[in-house]
Amino acid sequence: MKILQMVDVPWDSGLAHYALILAQGLNDEGHEVFVSATPGQKPWIKAHRLGLKTLPLVSLKGLGPLRRFVREHGIDVINAHTGSTHSLAVAAALGQSVAVVRTRSDARAIRRRPGGRFLYKHTQRVIAAASYIRDSFLKELKLPPKKVVTIYQGLAVEDFEPVPFPKAFVIGVVARLDPVKGHRYLLEALSILKATYPSLRLRVIGQEENIKIRDLQAIAARLRVNSQVDFVGFQADVAKAMGECSIGAIPSIGSEAVSRVALEWMASGRPVVATKVGCLPEIVQPKKMGWLVEPKDAPALAAALAKLLHDPAGTEVMGQNAHAEARERFTMETFIGKTVAAYKAAIGELE
C-alpha cells in the first residue's frame, strides 16, 4: 500500500510518537509511507531521523498541490492524526479513490463540531488508541460500531529484555516533569512509606517541561524525603534506566491516552502501580501485573506500593507476568498487523 500519515502537532507528544512509529513499522513491512508534517518541527525532524519520506504540511488554501500529490503517487490511504489534518485528508481525498482513516490517540474529550458529520461521512475508518476513546466516539458522535476499531500502540518489546531486580527496592517514575504526571502525589506517597522503608529510593526520570526539578526538590524537602529521591533528568537509554528500578510508578492525574511508558515498564519485566486514568485501566491488570489507584490519592498510592514492597517474590512474579503480557498484546507486529487490516477494510468501503 501507499500511505500518507498526517500529523501537525509541533512537539514529540504521545500522539506524534504513535503516528511516527506506525509510519516506521509500515515502512519496515514494505509499504510506501509518506509523513506530512511541518518542516522544522519535532515530528518532521524525527521522521527524517527515522529515514521516512516527508511531505511539507499544507493548509486548506494549499489543497491543490496536496491533491496532485495524492493522485500522482497513487496514495491508497490517508491517515489523519489530528482534527485539522482530518479536514485536510477528507478534502484531499474527495473525488479520488483514496480511503481516509482518522486516528485518535490523545486524551482530549471528543465533542461534536461544525462539519463533523460531513467529515465522518467521508471517513472510511476511525482508529482509537484505547477502548475508552472508541466508546466516546460511539457515544458522542454516534458512529457505527463497525467503523471504529481499537488499536493499541505497539512497542519493540525485544529492546526491553528484563534484567535481574536490584538488591534494594527502587521505585521509578519515567515522565516529563509536568503537573499532569502527578509527581507530587508520588512524593507524598514516599513520605508515608519512609518510616517503614527507610532505605527505599525513588528515581525520577524525565526532562523539565512545566515543572522544574528544583520545584520537585522543594516538595521532597518539605516532606523530608529529599535524601531518598534521585532526580536524574532525561535518560536516552530508557530500557537501562527501567532495569535499575524495581517498580514502575505512573501517578498521572490525566492524559495517558496511549501510555507508552506503561508498555515500557511491562516490557522491562517490572510491575506497575498506576492511576485509573486514560488507557491505564485497560493495560494494567490488578493483582496480575501491578495495582491501580484513584488519581490524586497519595495514601492509596502508598498502600499499593506497600503491597509490592511487602512481597519481593510476588513482585518479581508480577514483573514476569507484565513482560509476558507485553509480548502477547503489545508488539509492533500486532500493532502494524491490526492497522493494515483496518486500512484494507477502509479501502474496501470505497468499492
What's residue 104's pLDDT?
A: 95
**DSSP structure class, residue 128:** E
Distance separating alpha carbons of residues 241 and 233, to the nearest angstrom: 11
Query: How high is the pLDDT of residue 262?
Result: 97
Q: Taking Cα atoms as reference points, which of 179, 170, 177, 124 lies closest to residue 146? A: 124
Is 103 in a helix, a strand, or coil? strand
Which is nearest to 178 in space by CA: 141, 208, 198, 149?
208
Return the ∠ at Cα 112 (arms to 108 and 115), rounded to 5°: 120
In the CATH hierarchy, which top-level class contains the domain 157-329? alpha beta
Residues 6+ apart with CB under 8 A from 311: none
Tell me which residues of the chain have a pLDDT lower than 50: none
pLDDT for 108: 83
Chain Cα centroid distance, residue 257: 6
* Res 329: pLDDT: 96
CA dihedral 38, 42, 47, 53 (to 10 degrees): 20
Helix or strand or coil: residue 187?
helix
Strands in 229-233's sheet, in edge-to-edge order, are 229-233, 201-205, 170-174, 247-250, 272-275, 290-293
Q: Are the C-beta atoms of 23 and 5 separated by less than 8 Å?
A: yes
Predicted pLDDT of residue 69: 95
Q: Which CATH superfamily is domain 2-154+331-348 in?
A: Glycogen Phosphorylase B; (3.40.50.2000)
pLDDT at residue 300, as a whole number? 98
Helix (H, G, I), strand (E, B) or coil at 37: strand
The 10s digit of each residue's pLDDT in 192-247 is: 999 999 999 999 999 999 999 999 999 999 999 999 999 999 999 999 999 999 99
Domain ranges of the chain: 2-154+331-348, 157-329
What DSSP element (H or E) covers 73?
Answer: none
